[in-house]
Structure 1
Amino acid sequence: MQRRKVIFSGILIALSGIILWMFTTHDAFLYKQSIAEVINVKNEEPVETEDPYQNKDETTQQILTLKVLNGKNKGKIVTAQNEFSKSGAYDQKYHEGQQVFLNIHHHKKKLTANISHYKRDTYLIMLVWLVTVLLYVFMHVKGLRTLLSVIMNFIIFLIFVEIDVSYDFTNFFWLFATSAIIFTGLSLVLVIGWNKQCLVSFLSIVFGTTVALILGILILYLTGNQGIHYEALDFATQEPQQLFLSATVIGLLGAVMDAATDIVSTLFEMKRKQPEISAKQLYKSGQEVGHAIMGPLINVLLMIFFAETFAIAVLYFRTGNTYAYTFEWAMALGVAQALISGIGITLVIPSASFLCSRFLGRRNKKCPQS
């Protein structure tokens, strides 16, 4: 019976993925903007370019033949031009079979078109499907609750962004700091439940995040922000420093939450299995758990930083910039954020261990059920 259930679940999961793939590759009718499929590509000879700073690149013109998939022009064939560079920083090379958004114009009873951007919904939805499947397979209902917390946090984040855009706050850092506290509380309640474990986790996360952020800001202030170019932030339309700090507090929160929940959940489980364990033993165990996870977590932060800066760093190197210039303008902000997050991880280890030892440390006190 169990084997049949597993096979049936696997078939349902596979069918859901196939159905989603088929639907998203044929969902052009859902969009108001014109969508077309690339049916033929002609690449011209590449041309070398050089800017006033002696940065060299190579650009290639494409002539694309496209078939419109929706709207009043459905089924019509149009041509469009595209230019892509060898560095590939702000442009894209197109291939046959890809779908793109078009801006179609009528000129002297002839259709002309230019590409707006690439249609990515299929890949995004399939990634969401894969994450959902993995959470369900390995964590069951708890995994779905985790996914629900992610969705709700994303919605809350969009609400706070909309508030910032609508009211154009001068000091908007506090707006996103507030959103970070809401993220923390909501995630813990949904994943852990409303109990003492949730409370201890929340207090340790808030403490570690707050103190690490204060120390980071203090260090930046005392050093005069040397080597930190806030103006290097992409598309910064508000105060660059506040944008940097807002992004830092959200990233810091994620790192601290990871460490805190690992320590707190481990100590609560130890208390359930060993009710006689003392506060001193709990604190020592929390420290040992923290030291064990600190190295991997900091390495994860570095990997995330490398992933975020990889493309722009390669572009800087390909266009002849020095290591020092590339680091200062493309990587320094990310390094600063990673260091502040590392401080948060270091601080949350003793704070989470101490709070757990105070809440659970009495020998005759049983661990509260989650």
Structure 2
Amino acid sequence: MSKDLIKNIFNFRATEINKFSKKKLVLGAILIIISLISLFFISNNENFYDKPIGKVISIEEKEFDKKTDDGKIELMKNQKIRAIIMNGNHKGEVVEADNIASFSQVNDLNLKVNDQVFLSITDNDNHNISSVKITEFKRDKYIVLIMIIFIILILLIGQKKGLRSLASLIVNIIILLIITELFTKGYYLMICSIIASILFIIFSIVIVSGRNKKSFAAIVGTLTGTLISMIIAGVVIKINNWSGVHFEEMDFLTQPPETIFFIELIIGTLGAIMDIAISISSAVKELYDKNPNTSRRVIVRSAREIGQDIMGTMSNTLVFAYLSGSIPTILLFLRNGVPITYIVSIDLSLEYMRAIVGSIGIVLSIPITIYISILILKNHNMGEI
């Protein structure tokens, strides 16, 4: 190889690296500018709220002990809050309010200087403030900050795939809002949820992975796996006549709890199955791309090995995801002397039912998606549909 050829190769690679670096720098700069603008706006958006907002400027605290109903002592503190009103007719006025904070902070706020809170203000006949009450914490700034961090990370790491994932998320939120609006108009909730689930699957996979046979295989695998797991769950629950399934936490609903529970099962299960299905179909596609003459037995063995590795972690993910939301309830019951057997059998019955049904769907979706992917992808052009 001549020196000129080697030099040209190195120059070409250096040019490509510089172009890639410039793109990342431009993307990073744009994201930083948008993030700063968003943070500035959300930090100065008080005038867009109808509720009065106060910014805490000083706090005087006095601690005291409170005896709870079970005879235990909990540390409490009385906060004397001085806050400046940020919007509304009393903008700029300084007010005082009392706030009781407990160690557990179950139903109260432990405020700090510079915190922003929503206020309930009562005026007298002269339109002057007669009383002020703190209602809740203003959290939009922290929510937007977390969203900005998420968007920056998914775009910098995922790049085009990350942008597609964001687009998919936005589309799914829009679908959810539309379905919710249809339900408020009187449409049947189960039908709306099934339609929404199908749309979630199609748009999530197609937007992220494109319109190709790999995506089609993942969609068919997800729909088939979800359907079979729901049929199994429905048959088992019907045979046992809902024995062992307790709906006490759904007493406040105006819909039959069985319907709501099945909708939860469908949405929770299809999310996990969709992850498995796209992973399996991608693996099968890559195996065929590397060697189109690979035998079906080798493909099945390799895809099954991949699926088995994913299966264990995804099942644990489902269990942790469902049970983690119940940790406060578990701790509250344990503190009040409720036996762990009662907590598991009564208060966690819905959570572990969701986890079990989702795990069944994960296990079933592996062989289903493998054979569907082989059927669709083998001896077919892998280009766009």
- TM-score where L is the length of structure 2: 0.86
Partner residue of 1:247? Answer: 264
Within 2, Cα distance between the matches of 1:223 and 1:60?
51
Q: Does residue 173 of the first structure (1) align with residue 190 of the second (2)?
A: yes
Is residue 128 of structure 1 aligned with residue 147 of structure 2?
yes
2:212 maps to 195
Q: Deviations over 1:317-368 (max 9, x none)?
A: 233322123324442211111111100000000100011121233xxx2441
- How many pairs does the alignment contain? 363
| 3-state SS, counterpart of residue 29 of structure 1 | helix
Instruction: Specify the alignment match of 2:39 in structure 1.
Output: 21
Do structure 1's residue 110 and structure 2's residue 129 form an aligned pair? Answer: yes
8 A Cα contact 1:290 1:349, kept in partner: yes
The 2-side partners of 1:57 and 1:311 are apart by 19
Matched, 1:308 2:320: no
Matched, 1:369 2:369: no
Distance 1:55 1:307 in 2: 28
1:4/1:190 Cα in 2 relative to 1: closer, same or farther (>3 Å)?
closer
Query: Relative to structure 1, is the Cα distance of residues 83 and 270 closer, same or farther in structure 2, using a 3 angstrom cutoff?
Result: same
Structure 1: how far apart are the matches of 2:241 and 2:255? 21
**Conserved? CA contact 1:87–1:315, under 8 Å:** no
Unaligned 5+ segments in structure 1 are: none
Moved more, 6-15 or 314-323: 6-15
Q: CA deviation at 1:151?
A: 0.9
2:121 and 2:129 in contact (8 A); partners too: no
Equivalent-residue separation in structure 2 for 1:321 and 1:233 (angstroms): 20
- Gaps of at least 5 residues in structure 2 are 1-17
Shift of 1:99: 1.0
* Separation in structure 2 between the aligned mates of residue 81 and residue 234 of structure 1, nearest angstrom: 34
The aligned residue for residue 99 of structure 1 is: 116
Q: Among all aligned residue pairs of Structure 1 and Structure 2, give the percentage whose two residues are the same amino acid.
A: 28
Q: How much is the aligned-residue C-alpha RMSD, in angstroms?
A: 2.3
Report the Cα distance in structure 1 between the residues aligned to 2:61 and 2:264, rounded to whole angstroms.
40
Q: 1:322 to 1:263 in 2, by over 3 A?
A: same
Look up the SS of the partner of 1:321 in the other structure. coil
Mapped to 1, the partners of 2:206 and 2:257 lie a distance apart of 33
**Structure 1 residue 89 corresponds to structure 2 residue 103:** no
Q: Is 1:63 paired with 2:77? A: no
Secondary structure, in 3 states, of the residue corresponding to 1:178? helix
- Taking the aligned partners of 2:71 and 2:185, their CA distance within structure 1 comes to 39
Match of 2:172 among 150, 153, 156: 153
Superposed displacement of residue 113, structure 1: 2.2
- State the shift of 1:55 in Å: 8.0
Matches for 1:132-143 after TM superposition, within 5 Å:
132-143=151-162
Shift in Å, 1:146: 0.9
Q: Higher relative contact order at CA 8 Å, sep ≥6: structure 1 or structure 2?
A: 1
Corresponding residue SS for 1:237: coil
1:162 is the counterpart of 2:181: yes
Structure 1 length as normaliser, TM-score?
0.89
**Residue of structure 2 equivalent to 1:48:** 66
Bigger Rg over Cα: 2
Per the TM alignment, residue 294 of structure 1 is displaced from its structure 2 partner at its CA by 0.5
